[in-house]
Amino acid sequence: MKADLDRLMAERGIDALLILPGENEDPYRTYLSNGARSSGLVLKQRGAPPVLVVNGMEVGEAERSGLDVRSYDDFDYTALLREHNYSYSAATSAWYGRIVEHFDVRGRLAIYGVGDLNAALQAIKALQAGTGDRIELVSEEMRDTIFDRAYETKDPDELAFLREAGRRTSAVMRAAREWIAGQRAGDGVVVRADGSPLTIGDVKRYVRGQLFEQGLEDPEGMIFAQGRDAGVPHSKGQDDQPLRLGETIVFDLFPRLPGGYFHDMTRTWCIGYAPEQVQADYQTVREAFDRSLEMCRVGLATHEAQDMVCEFFEARGHPTALSTPGTSEGYVHSLAHGLGLNVHEAPFFPTRAARYWLQRGNVFTIEPGLYYPSRGYGIRIEDTVHLNESGALETLTDCPYDLVIELKG
């Protein structure tokens, strides 16, 4: 959690963190600025609170962070542009130099940010040119950065956001199920009152309306995949397809609050009825899901849960990454991932690799699945859970697991 940042920086010999400015949504910037939105620079020195340097038009919003906020022109950015004949690279180099000198930044500086790679490279060159030998730019191992490790556990403020995201997302999922159930059947598909087929695109539009009503954003785009597409884990589904009776639908919904925190949940449905093989495999996935919930406890190496699910599925005749690396059928992905300002963050659940151990404050998904595109179906069940201070597993998702949606229209 954020309270661990100074300790992590000390352990890694890093003296300062710099989040580059940029127009993109940036979880690093959101994390350090307490959710306040801006496109500016964030500087965090070890042992000191972060400082925000933002465009003058964003000062009011940035001040909601409760942190020290400065304007670009506190460091004469506009004057530097004129001085350097509007060469943004040269002006930015001098600007970084002034910021580093003003805050007396020295030593090992790690840089983060989300955005244009060319702009990031220019910013790094500008930093090197503008700061001389005061700083050493350093990088960290992928998936093992200071932020990755801080993200692993959530503080009470973050948990409040995540619980609220779960409450709202669950309400949208329940509303979508009820809306579909209110339609009627006709010629093997779901139809509206006027007899026209109800399509996947219609469902997505309804869901987007519900997300709006709940004050949620959908930046990644939901998954609503049917039949063969449901057997491809990240297929978004085809908007022009009518909802067909008896085919599996994998509905994976992962919106976020405006403050940046996501929820992630999946339900598998069959409308009207479910074929016998689908029913049997659904019960297998549900048992794997329940066993995973029972297994997750403080101190568990996450790969042990992943390996357990692989062995469970293989014992029932399904291929997995354990015995068939790269398989596109059976159980084809990992069991879980952390969740917060990113849809996927630590802790991860790799196969037979001891890299993460569960601890109090973790928020993560549980999402076993079976996928058979060659047979025309896929199944996944997913909830978001939290290991609380007492070490108990708390489910943040609230939605029924029923496979079949009975039409009432």
> Tell me: the pLDDT tens digits for 214-233?
999 999 999 999 999 999 99
Asked if the model's pLDDT at residue 4 lies above 90, the reply is: yes
- pLDDT at residue number 123: 81
- pLDDT at residue number 408: 84
Q: How many CB atoms lie within 10 A of CB 104?
A: 8
Q: Within its chain, how far is the Cα of 69 from the centroid?
A: 28
139 or 122, which is more confident? 139
Of the listed ranges 44-48, 137-141, 260-264, the least confidently predicted one is 137-141
172-184 tens-digit pLDDT: 999 999 999 999 9
- For 117-121, which contacts have Cβ atoms below 8 Å and span 24 or more sequence positions? 119/20, 119/22, 120/20
85-106 tens-digit pLDDT: 988 888 888 888 899 999 999 9
**Which amino acid appears at position 254 of this protein?**
F
- pLDDT at residue number 272: 97
pLDDT band at 199 (very low <50, low <70, confident <90, very high): very high
329-343 tens-digit pLDDT: 999 999 999 999 999
pLDDT band at 117 (very low <50, low <70, confident <90, very high): confident
Q: How many CA atoms lie within 13 A of 321 on its CB side?
A: 18
- pLDDT at residue number 126: 81
Q: How many CB atoms lie within 10 A of CB 359?
A: 14
Mean pLDDT computed over 276-301: 97
* CATH architecture assigned to 152-405: Alpha-Beta Complex (3.90)
Asked if the model's pLDDT at residue 78 lies above 80, the reply is: yes
Q: What are the domain boundaries of the chain?
A: 2-149, 152-405
Q: How many CA atoms lie within 13 A of 361 on its CB side?
A: 15
Give the largest CA-CA distance in the chain.
Answer: 75
CA dihedral 198, 211, 39, 149 (to 10 degrees): -100
Q: Give whole-number Cα distances, 199 to 171, 192, 244, in Å.
A: 21, 10, 9
- pLDDT at residue number 142: 87
Q: What is the pTM of this model?
A: 0.93
- pLDDT at residue number 373: 97
DSSP 385-403: EEE-TTS-EEE-------S
> Could you give the CA distance from residue 77 to residue 320 in angstroms, rounded to a whole number?
56
Query: Does the CA dihedral 130-133-134-136 come out positive or negative?
Result: positive
Query: What CATH class is the domain 2-149?
Result: alpha beta
Query: Does the CA dihedral 120-124-129-131 come out positive or negative?
Result: positive
User: How many percent of the chain have pLDDT more than 70?
Assistant: 100
- Mean model confidence pLDDT for the chain: 94
pLDDT band at 355 (very low <50, low <70, confident <90, very high): confident
Query: Phi and psi at residue 307, in whole multiples of 5°?
Result: -65, -40
Asked if the model's pLDDT at residue 396 lies above 80, the reply is: yes
